[in-house]
Chains A and B, each alone.
Chain A
Amino acid sequence: MVIKDISHPETLPRKHEDSVRLAPVGDRALAFFLDALFFSPVISLLAAGTFRQVKTFSLLNPQAPLVMEAWMVWALVVFTGTWFLQAAFYYFWSATPGQKFMQLRVVSWPHPEMEMTFSKALLRSLLWCLSWAFLAIPFLELLGHPFRRALHERASDTLVVTLKEGAEAPFAFETRFINSWINLFFASLALLVFVFSVSAVQFVQGPQKIKEVAAHKANKDSGLCRELKAWEALQSSASAQEKMDRLIALAWANSSGELPCAESELNSHFWDNKTSSQGRQNKTSEKSAELDAWAYLARTVNSVDQKSRRDYVNKACEVAARSEACELGMLILEDQISLHKLKAMARSSLSAKVLLIETALAEEEVLTAIQQLKELKNEKLLSDFYHKSYVKAVWAAQRKSDGGGRAPSSEPVKPASELKAQDPVLEQILKDFRREFDLQ
């Protein structure tokens, strides 16, 4: 594929043209392949230290800007190493190892008798390296140029010649070779464009998708956890024990009895919190022991079986035998929870209060439940629990006054106007309920 350019001086006959044997493209391709084989290990060795840094930084924190910087340093080392190594070979031996093996030489042009200067070698090598940054497109020129000179050769006034006798270009094999490589190149380019387009689309959609996933995850995460975090942000002066108590209360108030964020909160306490057990050197203070006891009790929240719950309660009691956490823990393990004990604890513990309300409702101790619920009225963290439990209490009150058994939860809720009670105390409860929820 020789494109004649009649304006170009190189196409005009020159005296020494016959003595210059152009290097066949096939030989140059093989020389490049050999150079890649030999240079790659050497450049890898030169850049090994920087690549190690890239791997280390990626390991420590893949998102850190330092990772990108390390990659750039690595790329710079590879580029510079290749540039200077190649230039050195051009200057000292007029050929790279692969070219030497294929009996090719790089000579000055149009004056081959002149020596290859170091600046020419540097320039040729620099532009050769930069051509790869442009997807190797500048190299295509050597297929069409009459003297097989691409940009890096024309800019540096050099030419690749062969020392082989009787070599002439192009010949049949070379033509086929060139054609097949051109086809391969354009196929690769098409694939690259396709991959790039897909990546670009994903890149544009990426931030939106990340937001959607994060939003979905946030929705999936318990709203209770968000509320807990909001409460902690507002009540920054609350003690660690208070926070632990609220965590348990929140979990017990949740109908499933679980709290997704409890795990991370508790891990943070046990492993990161310096106010927890002081470690091998210091003795555990009473305060931190009590806090640990609460933390162990909180572990029962996400425990999968009764055995692990028992183990955690026992551990809480082992750490602080007279703590409220131990007492509460022992209560939850009992088959029949004592309301009397819970009432005493509910004065100081929110989780005990929640447990008391649940137990009172289960045993239809409506007055006890209502009394405790009134104290929860201003607890924003438990507003959901408050409302649900209040309704349950009112219906329990209604059932009691009707003298009936427990109503199935699938029964539709009666309008407030239909609610009546014969007992004056229960009637007062209903009045309060209507006033509370603005029902008539």
Chain B
Amino acid sequence: MIVPMPVDVTQWKQFPLTFTLLVTNVLIYFLFFSAGAGAGYHRQEMLQPAQLELTGYLYSEWREAHPETVARTPGWVLALVPTQAGQRQVMGAYALRDAAFMETATEFDFSRGDQIQIESWKDKIKKYKDFYLEQSAFQYGINAWVLRPFSWLTYQFSHSNFVHLLSNMLFLVLVGTAVEALVGSAGFLLVYILGGVAGGLLFLIQNTHGLIPMIGASASISALMGFYAIAERRRRVRFFYMLMPIEKYFGAIYLPTLSIIPLFLVVDLASLISTPEGWGGGVAYSAHLGGAIWGLLTGFIYRFLRKN
């Protein structure tokens, strides 16, 4: 494990905004998300294999009637064969993430298949939609289906579970304190909030028809990391490493700031490329990259302004 630890974070009074954001995130989590951003989601009937198969059947018929969707459908989805049970389930799971399908499925006239089953399915999908729309992650997250103006801000302060919160807050403290020490609270806020907006934007560009909401401060933190990597390009900053939790196997090492880029940002890029389109693994790599790009850009601007 290796994480940047440029400044002495115990001097928290010197970094008011960082710790304010930390406390805000934690409070919001315990007030709105501690029950789990998707509590009960996995027990939904629509996610059971039999219903997923049926959804897969219906989705293939719906797609035939909507040839305009072919252009935006990933190649692997088009390659799925509806006559095979396993692939039908995969298709059904994808269908539940397709905003256009979810929007129109209950009104669509499915002429093929067991009509009784289809009517029952339509009732179930309505209930599923209602359940989904009630989830905190959907209410406060950012997604292509329902985009609210305040979502651009609220998603940055929402986290799905405690581990998500912990990992983000750890990096917020480690990198945020360094950035705040460098550019002050105003500059920090500019990078943080607009980095989150940039991350959200890239996420939406990559998921124009997706239903899954994105939440988390990762994009904002990526922006901070990108900014710091460029702003303090020539410095060697302290990283904390741990090979094993015994004496002499952990400690501090001073690496170039630019090493943040391969250690964290290149990994996100590789993960984004290696993930099949339209099939997320629970991490919005595109948002990380969007934030990082904003951070790198503002880093260059900062260096330019500082030079002049």
Which residues in A have some Cβ–Cβ distance to B below 8 Å? 30, 33-34, 37-38, 40-42, 44-45, 47-49, 51-52, 55-56, 59-61, 101, 173, 176-177, 266-267, 270-272, 276-277, 279-280, 295-296, 299, 308, 311-312, 315
**Contact mask B249-278 → A, CB, 8 Å, 1/0?**
000010100010011001101110111100
Q: Is the CB–CB distance between B276 and A271 below 8 Å?
A: no
Residues of A within 8 A of B109 (CB): 280
Q: Is the CB–CB distance between B90 and A299 below 8 Å?
A: no
- B116 proximal to A (CB < 8 A): yes
Residues of A within 8 A of B111 (CB): 277, 279-280
Of the candidates B53, B90, B266, B275, the one whose C-beta lies within 8 Å of that of A41 is B266
Q: How far is it, in angstroms, between the C-alpha of A315 and the C-alpha of B117 when the chains are bound?
A: 11
Q: Is the CB–CB distance between B2 and A48 below 8 Å?
A: no
- B82 proximal to A (CB < 8 A): yes
**Contact mask B99-124 → A, CB, 8 Å, 1/0?**
00000000001011111110000000
Q: How far is it, in angstroms, between the C-alpha of A374 and the C-alpha of B248 when the chains are bound?
A: 91
Of the candidates B87, B116, B259, the one whose C-beta lies within 8 Å of that of A61 is B87
Supposing A41-B262, A56-B76, A315-B115 touch, asked if A33 and B87 sit within 8 A by C-beta, the answer is: no
- B243 proximal to A (CB < 8 A): yes
Of the candidates B83, B243, B263, the one whose C-beta lies within 8 Å of that of A272 is B83
Q: Is the CB–CB distance between A42 and B262 below 8 Å?
A: yes
State the Cβ distance, B209 to closest chain A Cβ, in Å: 19
Q: Is the CB–CB distance between A173 and B274 below 8 Å?
A: no
**Chain B interface: which size bin?**
35 or more
Supposing A52-B275, A59-B279 touch, asked if A280 and B65 sit within 8 A by C-beta, the answer is: yes
17 contacts between A and B (CB under 8 A): A40-B267, A41-B262, A41-B266, A41-B267, A45-B269, A52-B276, A55-B279, A61-B86, A177-B248, A267-B53, A271-B112, A271-B113, A272-B82, A272-B83, A277-B111, A295-B114, A315-B116
Q: Is the CB–CB distance between A48 and B276 below 8 Å?
A: no
The 9 nearest A-B residue pairs measured at CB: A48-B273, A44-B270, A41-B266, A51-B274, A48-B274, A45-B270, A270-B113, A41-B267, A48-B270
Q: Is the CB–CB distance between A38 and B259 below 8 Å?
A: yes
Supposing A52-B274, A60-B87, A271-B57 touch, asked if A44 and B116 sit within 8 A by C-beta, the answer is: no
Residues of B within 8 A of A271 (CB): 57, 82-83, 112-113
Residues of A within 8 A of B259 (CB): 38
State the Cβ distance, B169 to closest chain A Cβ, in Å: 23
Of the candidates B79, B83, B116, B274, the one whose C-beta lies within 8 Å of that of A296 is B116
- Beta-carbon nearest neighbor of B76 in chain A: A56
- B80 proximal to A (CB < 8 A): yes
Of the candidates B112, B253, B266, B274, the one whose C-beta lies within 8 Å of that of A270 is B112
Residues of B within 8 A of A55 (CB): 274-276, 279
> Given A52-B276, A60-B80, A271-B112, 19 more contacts at CB 8 Å?
A33-B243, A34-B253, A34-B255, A37-B263, A40-B267, A44-B270, A44-B274, A49-B273, A52-B273, A55-B274, A59-B279, A60-B90, A101-B255, A177-B248, A266-B114, A272-B83, A279-B112, A280-B65, A308-B116
Q: How far is it, in angstroms, between the C-alpha of A171 and the C-alpha of B253 when the chains are bound?
A: 21
Q: How far is it, in angstroms, between the C-alpha of A330 and the C-alpha of B148 when the chains are bound?
A: 53
Q: How far is it, in angstroms, between the C-alpha of A295 and the C-alpha of B112 when the chains are bound?
A: 13
Residues of B within 8 A of A61 (CB): 86-87
Residues of A within 8 A of B253 (CB): 30, 34
Q: How far is it, in angstroms, between the C-alpha of A275 and the C-alpha of B111 when the chains are bound?
A: 13
State the Cβ distance, B243 to closest chain A Cβ, in Å: 7
Residues of A within 8 A of B113 (CB): 270-271, 277
Q: How far is it, in angstroms, between the C-alpha of A176 and the C-alpha of B269 when the chains are bound?
A: 39
Q: How far is it, in angstroms, between the C-alpha of A59 and the C-alpha of B75 when the chains are bound?
A: 12
Q: How far is it, in angstroms, between the C-alpha of A308 and the C-alpha of B2 when the chains are bound?
A: 60
Q: Is the CB–CB distance between A37 and B112 below 8 Å?
A: no
Residues of B within 8 A of A315 (CB): 115-116
State the Cβ distance, A291 to closest chain B Cβ, in Å: 13
- Beta-carbon nearest neighbor of B74 in chain A: A56
Q: Is the CB–CB distance between B270 and A311 below 8 Å?
A: no
Q: How far is it, in angstroms, between the C-alpha of A271 and the C-alpha of B259 when the chains are bound?
A: 55
Residues of B within 8 A of A52 (CB): 273-276
Q: How far is it, in angstroms, between the C-alpha of A308 and the C-alpha of B267 when the chains are bound?
A: 53
Q: How far is it, in angstroms, between the C-alpha of A157 and the C-alpha of B57 when the chains are bound?
A: 64
- Beta-carbon nearest neighbor of A38 in chain B: B262
- Beta-carbon nearest neighbor of B82 in chain A: A271
State the Cβ distance, A114 to closest chain B Cβ, in Å: 31
State the Cβ distance, A322 to closest chain B Cβ, in Å: 19
- Beta-carbon nearest neighbor of B80 in chain A: A60
**Contact mask B179-222 → A, CB, 8 Å, 1/0?**
00000000000000000000000000000000000000000000
- Beta-carbon nearest neighbor of A314 in chain B: B116
Residues of A within 8 A of B271 (CB): 44, 48
Q: How far is it, in angstroms, between the C-alpha of A56 and the C-alpha of B274 when the chains are bound?
A: 10
Q: Is the CB–CB distance between A312 and B116 below 8 Å?
A: yes
- Beta-carbon nearest neighbor of B261 in chain A: A41
Q: How far is it, in angstroms, between the C-alpha of A315 and the C-alpha of B109 when the chains are bound?
A: 16
Q: How far is it, in angstroms, between the C-alpha of A48 and the C-alpha of B266 when the chains are bound?
A: 11
